[in-house]
Amino acid sequence: MENTYFNNLRTKKIEPAFALKPYIACYYLYENQQDRLQNFFFRALPNGLVEMFFLFNNSKVVFHERRQKQVLSGFVAGIFKLDHPMKLRMEVNGRPFRGLSILFTPLGVNRLLGTDLNQLTNRVVHLDQFWNSKLYWEFVNSLQVGNERVLLMSINDFFLHRIDAHDHPTQKIVPVLNSIEQMKGPLSVDRVASDLEISYKKLYRMFVDELGMTPKMYLKILRFNRACYLLDHIKNIKEYEIVYRCGYYDQPHFVREFKSIMKASPRQYVRSSRGKFYINRPYAFK
């Protein structure tokens, strides 16, 4: 377990049961003893993974998109494009904020949620869309325990019983995404196609058909996510080192892209956020 703090929000990263590791990247538990999350707008940037989120204490998340809003206590968020981030705020009703998130691997989306990745791209979906009513309430009830150890045992047990429950085919793009995740150094479409011995045309079609976005956009998400992780976790890291480790063309390219997304330069953003704008994904506060 790994405890960190995001302003006043305590976060705990927890590994899933060993048999679930091909399907679940990790769990996060969140707890905030103050009411500062109320009516606080922010944008959640993509990290390349699908995430399930559940709020306790009757808290809600309000999603804002194109003058419409959804109010949910449990949901699954697909992979959002960088130009289509999740804009949200919390409604904590004066009670301590507690939440659980589950980061699924691409294979976990197919096997545990029984759906394709492209069905979730740029979407937020209520939990009851993935299981029948009985299973949905079985999942919700597995979370209604106060003891953290028992809670995690219940979650692991629920998903262990779901591995073979769906007769849902594994998408062809899953091993491609797994291979990209393991790649070190600069990421580019040409490099991915070459390393995996797939033609550019085939790679492009696979991403558009099975993920709902181009490989260029997906790699852009991964690069930006890695860059934000490094900025948040390594004090005084040099921009040229981020450029090299994340695969940007050059330093001006990285700075321009960061400013276009975060509305401030990397140095300005680290300073204004006090170096805390990343939990399991980067967050923007403007």
User: Is 168 within a domain?
Assistant: no
User: Is 23 within a domain?
Assistant: yes
Q: What pLDDT was estimated at residue 3?
A: 61
Phi, psi angle pair for 170, to nearest 5°: -75, 130
Q: What pLDDT was estimated at residue 89?
A: 78
Q: What pLDDT was estimated at residue 86?
A: 78
* Residues 141-193 pLDDT 10s: 888 766 888 888 999 999 998 887 767 889 999 999 999 998 887 788 999 99
Q: What pLDDT was estimated at residue 247?
A: 84
Q: How far is CA 137 from CA 130, 134, 194, in A?
A: 12, 5, 46
Domain-ending residue, one of 118, 137, 160: 160
- Which CATH number belongs to the domain containing residue 139 in this structure? 2.60.120.10
Two structure tokens written together for 272 = 């204004």
Residues near 141 by Cβ (< 8 Å), separated by ≥ 6? none
Domain-ending residue, one of 101, 127, 160: 160
Q: What pLDDT was estimated at residue 166?
A: 66
Q: What pLDDT was estimated at residue 25?
A: 96
Across 199-209, b (16+ Cβ under 10 Å) vs e yields eeeebbebbee
Q: What pLDDT was estimated at residue 39?
A: 59
**Is residue 94 located within the same domain as residue 224?**
no
User: Is 122 within a domain?
Assistant: yes
User: Is 167 within a domain?
Assistant: no
Count of structural domains, the chain: 2
* pLDDT less than 50: residues of the chain: none
Question: What Rg do the C-alpha atoms of the chain give, in angstroms?
Answer: 19
**Is residue 41 located within the same domain as residue 147?**
yes
Domain-ending residue, one of 131, 160, 189: 160
How crowded is the C-beta side of 125, counted as CA atoms within 13 Å? 21
**Is residue 127 located within the same domain as residue 223?**
no
Q: In what order do the strands lie in the sheet with 50-55?
A: 2-6, 9-14, 24-32, 97-104, 50-55, 74-77, 124-126
Bridge pairing between strands 60-65 and 86-91? antiparallel
User: Is 166 within a domain?
Assistant: no
Q: Give the whole-angstrom CA distance, residue 93 versus residue 151.
A: 23
Residues near 244 by Cβ (< 8 Å), separated by ≥ 6? 185, 186
Secondary structure letter of residue 242 according to DSSP: H
**Is residue 111 located within the same domain as residue 178?**
no
Q: 225: domain range?
A: 173-284
